[in-house]
């Protein structure tokens, strides 16, 4: 944590509202009993809505990466010890790719190694396929609940354009 880091403030009493702030002071010593560090954040947006005694969670942005390859957490193969995804080659054959991940924010995961921009990543139906499976490629709208979505595993070829994404690491 450094002076000037951006902060995001969320309060239980004001659900859905997010306030902005900036780190102004950092205690010089870590509390040995709790392992915590006192940090003072100045609220820069919406301070008038906050009242004494409100319980809030503060998330401090400690790192931002620009122009990175980003995938959805949903693309990860469930129940694996290391992060892996299924990638479909030009012959519609599925291959398992082990990933090295960077920072994450919500559903977005930065991919440091294991994928390229042109890879077609399976995002639905990973539990129904395995290495060497043949699949049918179908582009579906994100989070679509359309009845005509095929039962076969799908890939999202449009994900190959996720370079240029932004990943931020927030710490509570």
Residue 23 · residue 40 · CB < 8 Å: yes
Mean pLDDT of the chain: 78
What pLDDT does 79 receive?
Answer: 85
Dist. CA 70–CA 171, nearest whole Å: 19
Q: pTM for the whole thing?
A: 0.59
Q: How far is CA 110 from CA 23, 58, 76, 147, in A?
A: 25, 23, 12, 31
Query: Is 170 a residue whose pLDDT tops 60?
Result: no
pLDDT beyond 80 at 150? no
Length of the chain: 172
pLDDT in tens, 112-142: 999 988 898 988 888 888 899 888 776 654 4
- Give the model's pLDDT for residue 157: 31
Give me the pLDDT at residue 62, please.
79
What is the chain's percent helix, strand, coil content, to nearest 5? 10, 45, 45
What are the tens digits of pLDDT across the range 14-68? 998 999 999 999 999 998 999 888 999 999 887 788 888 888 888 888 777 778 8
28-32, 77-81, 114-118, 159-163, range with the lowest pLDDT: 159-163
pLDDT value at residue 115: 92
Return all residues near 129 (Cβ < 8 A) that are at least 6 apart: 86, 94, 122, 135, 153
């Amino acid at each position: 944590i450094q002076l000037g880091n951006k902060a995001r403030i969320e309060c239980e009493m004001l659900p859905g509202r997010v306030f902005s702030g900036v780190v102004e002071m950092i205690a010089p010593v870590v509390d040995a009993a709790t392992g915590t560090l006192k940090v003072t954040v100045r609220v820069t947006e919406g301070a008038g809505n906050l009242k004494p005694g409100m319980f809030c969670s503060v998330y401090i942005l400690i790192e931002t990466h620009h122009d990175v390859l980003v995938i959805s957490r949903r693309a990860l193969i469930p129940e694996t010890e290391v992060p892996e995804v299924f990638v479909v080659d030009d012959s519609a054959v599925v291959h398992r790719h082990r990933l090295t991940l960077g920072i994450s924010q919500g559903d977005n995961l930065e991919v440091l190694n294991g994928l390229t921009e042109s890879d077609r990543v399976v995002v639905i139906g990973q539990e129904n396929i395995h290495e060497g499976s043949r699949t049918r490629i179908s582009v579906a709208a994100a989070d679509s609940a359309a009845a005509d979505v095929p039962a076969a595993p799908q890939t999202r070829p449009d994900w190959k354009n996720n370079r240029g994404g932004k990943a931020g690491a927030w710490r509570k």
